[in-house]
Structure 1
C-alpha cells in the first residue's frame, strides 16, 4: 500500500486494472484503430505541403480528391470504432471492479462494519470506480495516439527542417518542469477530494435513511449545517483543483502559443530567404498543431491519472481487508446436541471485556432465557453465538465440537434469529419471508409459514396479499406485523437453534399476544435462547441466566432464582405481582 501512495507509482493502478481481466483483443483493437487514425492524420500535412507548393487547378485531379475523401472517411470510421471499443473495455473494467467490491462487502466481517460508514463504502462502489472508468474511456486512447502523433510529427519535422524542429523541442523540458510538480499537487488534492466525497456521501446516506428521526427531533437545521459544511469542504477542494488547472492550462497554452509565434516568425524568414518552401512552412505548422493538441490532452490525462491512482489506493485497501470464509470447515450434521459455553471472555477493540468467564449449557430442545440489566452483554453473547466476533478466551461447543470447526454457512443455516425490531428489506411480503432461501418456495410452504407466525391474518387483508410492498425497512407495516414477518421467515428456514432478542419488548398488548403465540410455534422442538426484559415471557423457561456487568451471577429456574438471587427477585417484584406464602414467593 505504501507504493500506492507515491504519486509517481503506476503499478498498483495497472495491477488493479489487470486483475479485472479486460478484453485484450478489444483493448488492442481500440488502440490500433486510434493509431491508424493518427497515422492517416500524419499524411494529411504532407499532402497539404505538395498542394501548396504546386497549387494549380490542373494539379487537382479526381484521383487525388477521391484518395483524400477516402482517407478522411477511414479516419472517421476507425476513430468511432476505437471510441466504442474503448468504452466497452472501460465499462467492463468498472463492472468487474464493482463486482469484486460488492462481493467483498458481503463477506467482510461485522467488525469492519463497526468501523466504516455505509456511505463511504457506497463511494468506493460509485465515485472511485467512476474515476477509473473515466480515465480509460475518455483519456487512454488520447494518451497513446498523442504519443504516436508527437513521435510521428517530430520525425517528419526533422526531415523537413531539423533546425526549426530543435527550436520547437526546447519547449518540452519547460512543459515538464510545469507538469511534474503540479501533478504531485493534483494527486494530493484528488485524494483529499475523494476522501471528503466519501465522508459527505456517508453523512447524507445516514441522514436520509433516518429521515423520520431527523423530523421527529426537529433536527433539520442541525443536519442542514452538517451537510452545508460537507458541501463547503467539497467546494474548497474543488477550488484547489481549479487553481492547479488555472496554472497548468494557461502556462501550457502560453508555451504552445509562444512556440507557434516563434515557428511562424522564424519560418517566414526562412521562406523569404528561399531556404524553406511555403508548403514546408504550412506542413510544419500543421504538424506543430498535431503536437500541441496531444500536449494539452496529456495535461488532462495526467490529472485524471492522479485521480485514478487516489481512487485505486482506496479500492485496493478495501479489497485487501480480511474476509469471512463461509465454506471452510465441516458440515454440521447432528444439531440436536447441547450448546456448551465455557470460560467465554470477549471485549471489543481497545475496550475492557464485555463478557467475562461465562459458563453454561443450553440443552437441546429446551429454552434458556438470558435476563439482567441493560449493557450486561446479552446481545454481545448472541453475536458470539452467530460467530460475528471471535472470543478472546474460552470456547463455544455444540456437543464435543467447537462451533468454529463447522463452516459458517453450515452453522448459520441452523440458526433462526428474531430481533426486537425485525429487519425487512424494501420489497414484497413474499420476498421478505423468503429472504435468503436458496431453493424455490412454493405458495403452500409460504402460506404455512405465515399461518404458523399468525401473519396470515393481516396479509389476507391486503389487496395484493403476499405481493404487497412493505416500503423501505418495512415502514408500511406496524411493529407487530414486522415481527410476525420475521418469525415467518425463521419458520421457513426451519432452524434447529432459535435466538430471540427482545422479540416482544416493543409491542402493544394485542400484538404481543399474536407474536407470543407465533413464537410458541417457532420454539417447539428447537434449542431456544431468549433475551428478555419482560420476565413474564420467560418464567416458564427451562433455565434462566442472570447476567450483570458481563458475568453470570445467577443460574436456575424462575422459582430457584426468586429464592437465591436478590437482584432477580427485585426485577421480578417490579414486573410481576408477587405475594409471600408459607412455602415462599408466588406469582398471583
Structure 2
C-alpha cells in the first residue's frame, strides 16, 4: 500500500524531473518555469521599501567577492617576490605596486613584502567587515519581512471558506502557509546572488591572467558534466522521488497516530500503525538495496561532480606547467591555480543551490496556489442590529468535498423572532448543515438564508456573528485559561460578576472552583484536561456571556449526566427567553418547550409545526415520540403530556 502510494506520488515528480533533463531544451523549460516562481518570492520581499537595506547587502556581497578574488593574486605576488626581482613584481602586480607606493615605498623587497602582508590583512579585514555588516542587515530585513509575511499568510488562511478546511488536511494547510520554504528561498536568493557575483569576479581575474586556459576550463567543465549527468541523473532522480514519497507516507502515519492516540490505545491497535510505518521503512530500504547496479550508479553519481571538477582542474594544471616556461610567472601560476580551486567550489555550490531550488519547487508552487485562492464567501456591508427573524427559503446544498451528494433539497422554514425552533430527525438528515449555513460557513447552491429579511450574503459577517452564539455537540476549547475561553466570543470587557453568573447558570461554577487555580486553570490542548461534560458546560456559559440575539444549540446537553442536564436545561430555558433559538436534538425531552418543530429526513423538511399540531398529524414526529416513549423512562413530564394527548390515547 505504501509503495503504491509512493509510486503514485512519485509518478508526477518523475515526469517533472524528466522534463528537467540536462538537455538544453529541458534547461530552458526549467528556467521558464522557475524564474517566475523566484520572481514571485522576490516581489513578496518588497525590495523597493527595503531599497537601502538591499543595496547595503548587495554592496557587501561585492566587497566580499572582490576580497576573495584579490587574496590569490596577493598570494601569487609572494611567489614573485621569492623568485623574481622588484621590476618583475612592479610589472606584473600593478595593484601591489599601487598599494606599495602608498604605504612603505617600493625601494626593495622588504617594503614589497610588507605591502603583500598589508594587502592580505586588508582583504581579510574588509571581507570580515562586509560579512558582519551584510549578515546583520540581511537578518534584520528578513525578520521584518517574516513578521509581515506571517501575518499576511495567517490572515489569508483565516479568510478561506470552510470548504477549504473540509477538503485539505490540517497539516497540509499548515505546510502551505509556513515560512520555512519562503525563508529557504530567500536565503537561496542571497546565496546564489553572492556566489554568482564571486564566480563572475574570479572568472574576470582568470581571464586577465590566461584567457586561453580559462576558456578551456569554462568550456570543458560544463561539457563533461553534461555528458556524464545525462547518463546517471534520470533513474537516480526517480529513485529519490520514490524514497521521498515513502518517507512522506511514514511521517503522515506517525502524525495521524499521535492525533488519534486515544482511539489507537482504546482498540489496542498499536501493532497496525507500527506495521504501516514498518512497511514504509521496508519500502525505503528496498528502493535503496534491491538493485546493486542502481546503488553503484548512485554512489558513482555522488562522486561525479568532484571527479569531473578534479579532471578538468588537472588538465588546466598540466597546460599551465607546459606554458609556464613561455608566458607565466610563478606568481601568476599560483594565483591562477588558487582561483581555479575557488571557482570549482563555487560551481559546486551553485549547482547544489539550484538542486535545492528544484527540490523546493513543488512546495513553493503549492504555497502560491493557496495564496492565490480567492474566498467564495465574501462579507457584505449590512451591519444593523439583529432582530431575530430567520428564514430558509428553498435551500439546496451539497458539500464541496462531495458535490454529487445533495445534503439539503428544497428546505424552507421560518424561525420567528424570540421563539424556539427545534430541528429533529435521524442522523445525516441535514440538521447540523442547517446550523452551519446559518453561521454562513457555506452558501446555498440554490435558494437563500435570510436574517431580518436580508440575505446572509449582504450581512457583514463580523456584525452578524457578534450577535450569534453556538453551543456545539462536541465543543472545543483553546489551550488557555477557563476565563479566556469563557470570554472568547465577546468583543467587550466582561466583568467577573458576569462570568460567575454565566457559569452558575450553566452549572459550571462549582467544578471550576474545585480546581486549584479556579478560573485561571488551563484546560489543555482542545480542552483535553477536563471532561466532556465540563467542556460542554463551559461552552454553554460562553454562549450566555455573549448575550446573543440568535442562539444555536446543537445537542447542547448530550454530554451531561441526568442531574446536570436538568439543571442546565432549566438554565437554558431561562437564557432562551427573548432570543431566537435553534435547537438540534435527538432527545425530544429537551425540546418540550419549543414553539415550532421542523422534522428533517434525507435533507427534506417532512413536517413543520407546533408540537401539538405534529402530534395530531400522527406523522413523522409522532413516530419519533412513540419510539422514544417506548424505549426511555426519563422523559417524565414530557411522557405524561404525550400519554394525555388524544391521538396517543386513541392509538392505545
Q: Give TM-score scaled by structure 2 length.
A: 0.81
Alpha carbons of structure 1 residues 201 and 391: separation in structure 2 relative to 1, 3 Å: farther
2:257 to 200, 207, 217: 207
User: Distance in 2 between the 1:303 and 1:92 partners?
Assistant: 28
Confirm or deny: 8 A CA contact 1:370 1:529 kept in the other structure.
yes
How far residue 186 of structure 1 moved from its aligned partner, in angstroms, is: 9.3
- Give the equivalent residue in structure 1 for 2:184: 134
Give, in whole Å, the separation in 1 of the partners of 2:138 and 2:235.
Answer: 29
Residue in 2 aligned with 1:432?
485
> Which position in structure 2 is the counterpart of 1:46?
73
CA-CA distance at 1:354 after TM superposition: 1.5
Q: Secondary structure of the equivalent of 1:387? A: coil
* Distance in 1 between residues matched to 2:645 and 2:380, nearest whole Å: 58
Q: Distance in 1 between matches of 2:296 and 2:161?
A: 42
The question of whether the paired residues in 2 share the 8 Å contact of 1:197 and 1:234 is answered with yes
1:270 equivalent to 2:270? Answer no
Distance 1:68 1:347, change over 3 A: closer
| Larger CA deviation: 190-199 vs 517-526 | 190-199
Closer, same or farther in 2 for the Cα pair 1:354/1:145, shift >3 Å?
A: closer
Shift in alpha-carbon separation, 1:63–1:291, aligned structure 2, 3 A: closer
Name which of 53, 66, 69 aligns with 1:26. Answer: 53
Q: CA deviation at 1:91?
A: 4.6
| Structure 1 residues 570 and 325: alpha-carbon distance in aligned structure 2, compared to 1, 3 A threshold | closer
Aligned counterpart for 2:366 among listed residues 308, 314, 323: 314
Q: Does 1:485 align with 2:538?
A: yes
Deviation at 1:38, TM superposition (A): 1.3
Aligned with 2:398 (options 343, 347, 365) = 347
Q: Which residue of 1 aligns with 2:331?
A: 279
**Deviates most, 142-151 or 108-117:** 142-151
Residues 1:443 and 2:496 are matched in the alignment: yes
- Distance in 2 of aligned mates of 1:553 and 1:582: 22
Name the Cα RMSD after superposition.
Answer: 3.4
Shift of 1:376: 1.1
For these two proteins, the number of residue pairs brought into alignment is 581
What CA distance in whole angstroms lies between the structure 1 residues aligned with 2:38 and 2:563? 59
Match of 2:351 in 1: 299
After superposition, what is the alpha-carbon deviation per residue over 1:452-471, rounded to whole angstroms, capped at 9, x for unaligned?
Answer: 32221211222211101112
1: distance between equivalents of 2:482 and 2:295? 50
Match of 1:539 in 2: 592
1:165 to 208, 214, 236: 214
Post-superposition Cα deviations, 1:413-459, rounded to whole Å, max 9, x if no partner, equal 22111111222111210111111433333323322322332221211
Indicate how the Cα distance of structure 1 residues 248 and 443 shifts in structure 2: closer, same or farther if over 3 A, else same: farther
Q: Given the alignment, which residue of 115, 132, 137 partners 1:85? A: 137
1:536 and 1:304, CA in 2 relative to 1: closer, same or farther beyond 3 A?
same
Q: 3-state DSSP class of the match of 2:406? A: coil
Moved more, 571-580 or 446-455: 571-580
Aligned with residue 121 of structure 2, among 52, 69, 90: 69
- CA shift for structure 1 position 549: 1.5
Distance 1:32 1:234, change over 3 A: farther
Matches of 2:429 and 2:645, distance apart in 1: 34
Unaligned 5+ runs, structure 2: 1-15, 20-28, 84-108, 630-638
Give distance in 2, aligned partners of 1:236 and 1:144.
Answer: 40
Q: For the residues of structure 1 that align with 2:68 and 2:489, how far apart are their CA atoms?
A: 58
Mapped to 2, the partners of 1:14 and 1:546 lie a distance apart of: 56
> What is the deviation of 1:371?
0.9
How far did residue 36 of structure 1 move? 0.5
- 2:37 aligns with one of 12, 35, 48: 12
Identify the range of structure 1 (224-233 vs 504-513) with the bigger mean alpha-carbon deviation. Answer: 224-233
8 Å Cα contact 1:190-1:310 kept in structure 2? no
Greater alpha carbon shift after TM alignment, 573-582 vs 12-21: 573-582
- Partner SS state of residue 371, structure 1: strand
Taking the aligned partners of 2:549 and 2:41, their CA distance within structure 1 comes to: 43
What is the rounded CA distance, in whole Å, between the counterparts of 1:49 and 1:80 in structure 2? 27
Shift of 1:231: 5.5
CA distance in structure 2 between the aligned counterparts of 1:356 and 1:415, rounded to whole angstroms: 25
Instruction: Report the CA distance between 1:279 and its aligned residue.
Output: 1.7
Task: Name the CA distance, whole Å, in 2 between partners of 1:501 and 1:289.
Answer: 72
Deviates more, 1:319-328 or 1:450-459: 319-328
Partner of 1:149: 198
Shift in Å at residue 572 of structure 1?
1.2
| Residue 151 (structure 2) pairs with residue 99 (structure 1) | yes
Query: Which residue of the partner structure matches residue 120 of structure 1?
Result: 172
Contact 2:80 2:330 in 1 (8 A): yes
- 2:420 maps to 1:395: no
Q: Which of the numbers 271, 275, 281 marks the counterpart of 1:221?
A: 271
Match of 2:555 in 1: 502
In 2 relative to 1, CA 563–38 (structure 1 residues): closer, same or farther, beyond 3 Å? same
The match for 2:11 is: none
Q: Is the 8 A contact 1:484 1:518 kept in 2?
A: no
SS, match of residue 502 in structure 2: helix
Structure 1 residue 67, shift from structure 2 partner: 3.4
Q: Does 1:250 align with 2:300?
A: no
Say whether the 8 Å CA contact 2:162–2:442 is kept in structure 1: yes
CA gap of 1:308–1:161, structure 2 versus 1, over 3 A, is same
- Measure the CA separation in 1 of the matches of 2:364 and 2:170: 19
- Are 1:374 and 2:427 an aligned pair? yes
2:101 counterpart residue number: none
Counterpart contact for 1:452–1:488, Cα < 8 Å: yes
How far does residue 402 in structure 1 lie from its aligned partner after superposition? Answer: 1.6
Name the CA shift for 1:247/1:298 in 2 (closer, same or farther; >3 Å): farther
TM-score (norm 1): 0.89
